[in-house]
Amino acid sequence: MSGWHDRQSIVRGDERSPRLHPDAKFEYQGDTQKGQIMTKEEERLDRLDELLHALPFENMPMTLSELDGFLTGVLTCPEMIPPSEWLPQVWSETGDAQFVDQRTAEETIGAVMEHYNSVATTITKSLWIEPIYEIDTNSDETLWESWVAGFTRALMLRPDAWEGLMERADDETQSSPTFLLALQDINVGTSSFPDEVIDQIDKEAPDLIPNCVAAILHQSRPELAGAVPANLPGMPHKAAPKPGRNDPCSCGSGRKYKLCCGRN
């Protein structure tokens, strides 16, 4: 597959997602209900969110959801990407953090690295992710756009590595990054899909994204795939032969193949 170098424009300038939906909150696994005591994990994520929002707004630092997608993309990459290369992109598009003082810099960098390690641990244990999405508090709509913007931004750090993966991957694996890039096209308003298709994709995207990442991980990080028990309940897995379009998808989502990994 070709065209990875051409996709770098999707993460530049004003084509990036808005920093935060005006009526959004973040949702993650174990989200605390009103009146309940926050867990340490929720406190950690809330503090990380605060630290990211303390960065100069005009520099367009990443939101928590965008950072979660970005780190997932970094860790999913077939090649190791050192923090010295990806960390500056979290602070701003120029890489300039402009921290107010040394203490704030150390806490913010430490919080980002802690989340990097958290995502890495989750992937290592199960090849499965729990994306942090924004939630519209007025409609309770799940907003996947920032997460996808972060993930696709990470892809552009190693376009040659991703192109090499796509060339040797099977059809099912190829369809997963293609679908994620198609989501980013929808996000920035450049999709060629008709409105009714976009509306359907918008509804299904939050559930499909973890399946797509899992399918990619089986090819991009094969050393992890061999360490994870096959066919765990609720986890995607590869099956042969390739299913028909109306058969259940082999990723384990429970959807028909044509509505899941076979969409593209």
Averaged pLDDT, 165-188: 93
Which range is least confidently modeled, 59-73, 120-134, 137-151, 221-235?
221-235
Is residue 86 scored above 60 in pLDDT?
yes
| Beta bridge partner(s), residue 142 | 135
Q: How far is CA 237 from CA 120, 126, 164, 247, in A?
A: 19, 11, 22, 15
Please check whether residue 59 lies inside any domain of the structure: yes
Please check whether residue 264 lies inside any domain of the structure: no
Question: What pLDDT is attached to residue 6?
Answer: 47
d(CA 32, CA 147): 21
Is cis: bond before 210, omega within 30 of 0? no
Each residue's pLDDT tens digit, 183-201? 999 999 999 999 999 999 9
Tell me which amino acid residue 47 is.
Answer: R
Which range is least confidently modeled, 29-33, 41-45, 81-85, 185-189?
29-33
**Domain count for the chain:** 1
Which range is least confidently modeled, 77-86, 133-142, 151-160?
133-142
Residue 256, classed as helix, strand or coil, is strand
Tell me which amino acid residue 60 is.
Answer: M
DSSP 241: S
Please check whether residue 206 lies inside any domain of the structure: yes
Please check whether residue 152 lies inside any domain of the structure: yes
Please check whether residue 100 lies inside any domain of the structure: yes
Is residue 25 scored above 90 in pLDDT?
no
DSSP 142: E
Q: How confident is the model at residue 77 (pLDDT cuts 50, 70, 90)?
A: very high
Question: What pLDDT is attached to residue 262?
Answer: 55
Please check whether residue 146 lies inside any domain of the structure: yes
Tell me the helices (H) and strands (E) count for the chain, helix number first.
Answer: 9, 3
CATH classification of the domain holding 83? 1.20.120.740
Q: pTM of the entire structure?
A: 0.76
Is residue 95 scored above 70 in pLDDT?
yes
Q: How confident is the model at residue 21 (pLDDT cuts 50, 70, 90)?
A: very low
Tokens of 154: 């990470």
The residue assigned the tokens 């993650």 is 28
Kind plus residue range of the DSSP H or E element containing 26: strand 24-27
Please check whether residue 252 lies inside any domain of the structure: yes
Please check whether residue 91 lies inside any domain of the structure: yes
Torsions phi, psi for 85 (to 5 deg) = -90, -40
Nearest to 115 by CA among 98, 96, 139, 132: 132
Residue 30, classed as helix, strand or coil, is coil
Each residue's pLDDT tens digit, 224-233? 865 544 433 3
Structural domain for 196, as ranges: 5-259
Is residue 234 scored above 50 in pLDDT?
no
d(CA 263, CA 257): 7
